[in-house]
Copies of this chain bind each other. A is one copy, B any other.
Amino acid sequence: MVPVSDGPTITTIAERAGVSIASVSRVLNGLPTRENTVRRVLSAAEELGYVPNSVARSLKSRRTNQVAFAMADIGNPVYLAMIREIQPVLKAAGYRLVLHSTDADVADEIDVLRGLGERYVDGLIMIPLRVSEAHLKAVEAARAPVVIIGSVPDGTRVDNIRADSRTGVRLALDHLHSLGRRRIGFVNGPLDTVPGSARSTAYAEALTALGLPYDENLVEIGDFYRAEGAAAVSRLLARAPDLDAIMCANDLIALGALEVLRRAGRRVPEDVAVAGMDDIDMAAAAWPALTSVSLGSAERGRAAAELLLDRLGNGEREPRVVTVPPRLVVRASTAGEETP
C-alpha cells in the first residue's frame, strides 16, 4: 500500500529480455513479432509485474480514455439516473468517468469547459442548469467534443440531448383533466433555469389547450428540492385552498407536496391529486406512490454517452440533436384507489 520504489517500465523489460524497447512495445501491443521475442518479453513482463503507464501512453497517443460528466449536484436523483446509464456505456467502450459537481455555478461550469484544454479527458457530457451566452461561447471554443444535456438554442454547433418537458407537462395535465380536475396548481423551480422556463411555458400552453384559464394564484415558484418545494406548496395552498390538483415541476417538489398535504389533512388523491416530473426511483416508493412524467433521464444519459462515443470516433460529423420523448407513469397519487 505504501508507494513502491519505482515500477518497471518497458525499459526494464527490454533489459531483462535483452531486446529493444521498441520490440517490447510491439509485443505488448500485439504487433507481429518473432515467436521467440514474444516469449522473452512476455515472461519478463510477467516476472516484473509490469503495468503500462497510462499517462505516458496518453501523452503519445493524445487520448486519455477518460470522459468527464459535469452536473450541478450529484445528489439530484435525475443526474444520478443519468450517471448510472452513462457509466456502463463508457466503461464498455474503455473509458473512465471523471465527475464534476459544479453547484450550478456558471464560473465553475465555464472552468470545466476551459479545462478541456488541459486534455485530461477526451470528451465531456455536461448538463448545465442555466445556459448563458458565456456557456455557448465556451462550448464552441471547447478543445474536445462536448455533449450538452438540456436544450441549447437551435443552431448551436454542439451535440444536444433534449427532454420534451412541453409534451411532458401536457401529458400530466391531460391526465389530471381527464380525472375531472379543473383547479390545477403548478409549483415550479426558478424560471431562469432551463427546466424551469420550459415547464413554465408548457404549463400555460397546456391550460390553454384544455380550455382552462391561467390563474396566477395557482402558480408558485420555489426551488427544485423537497424542502423548498414543500414551502412553495404551503404558500400555494394558502393562496388557492380550492385547488384540486398540483402539478409539480419535479418529483422532489412533489414529495414535499405529499408531506404538506398530509399535514394539512388533505387526502391524496381524493382531495388533491399530485403529479411530479422525472419519475425518480423514490416516486414509486412514496406513499401514495407518485404519478410522474418520466422525461427519460436514463435514456438521455445513455443517448448522451452514445453520442459522445460516436463523436469521439468521428470528430467531423455534423452536430446532432436527440429528443427523448416523455412518458406518463400513472400511480396512486392521481388515480389511486387505496385510501389510508
Contact = CB atoms under 8 A, between A and B. Distances in A.
Contacts of A281: 75
Among A2, A146, A158, A159, the most chain B Cβ lie within 10 Å of the Cβ of A2
Contact of A139 (B1, B54, B101, B259): B1
A88 B101 contact: yes
A179 interface: no
A174 B289 CA distance: 32
A260 to B, nearest CB: 12
A127 B5 CA distance: 26
Contact of A145 (B1, B55, B259): B1
Given A3-B145, A99-B99, A143-B7, A54 B286 contact: no
Interface in A300-331: 315-316, 319
Contact of A3 (B83, B140, B144): B144
Given A1-B157, A282-B282, A53 B84 contact: no
Contacts of A340: 340
A316 B97 CA distance: 30
B286 A117 contact: no
Contacts of A49: 117
Given A74-B84, A258-B287, A118 B1 contact: no
Interface stretch (A33-41, A58-66, A202-210): A58-66
Nearest to A65: B120
B96 A285 contact: no
Interface string A1-28: 1111001000000000000000000000
Given A74-B83, A74-B84, A101-B88, A1 B142 contact: yes
Contacts of A262: 287
Given A1-B142, A80-B75, A146-B1, A120 B54 contact: yes
A119 interface: yes
A279 to B, nearest CB: 15
Nearest to A61: B55
Task: State the main secondary structure of chain A at its contact with B.
Answer: mixed
A114 interface: yes
A212 interface: no
Contacts of A87: 74, 99, 101
A46 to B, nearest CB: 13
A51 interface: yes
Contacts of A143: 3-4, 7, 51
B118 A53 contact: yes
Interface of A: 1-4, 7, 49, 51-56, 58-59, 64, 66, 74-75, 80, 83-84, 87-88, 91, 96-101, 114-115, 117-120, 139-140, 142-146, 157-159, 226, 255, 258-259, 262, 281-282, 285-287, 315-316, 319, 340
19 contacts: A1-B157, A2-B145, A3-B145, A51-B115, A51-B118, A53-B118, A54-B119, A55-B64, A55-B119, A59-B59, A74-B80, A75-B281, A84-B101, A97-B99, A98-B98, A99-B99, A262-B287, A282-B282, A286-B286
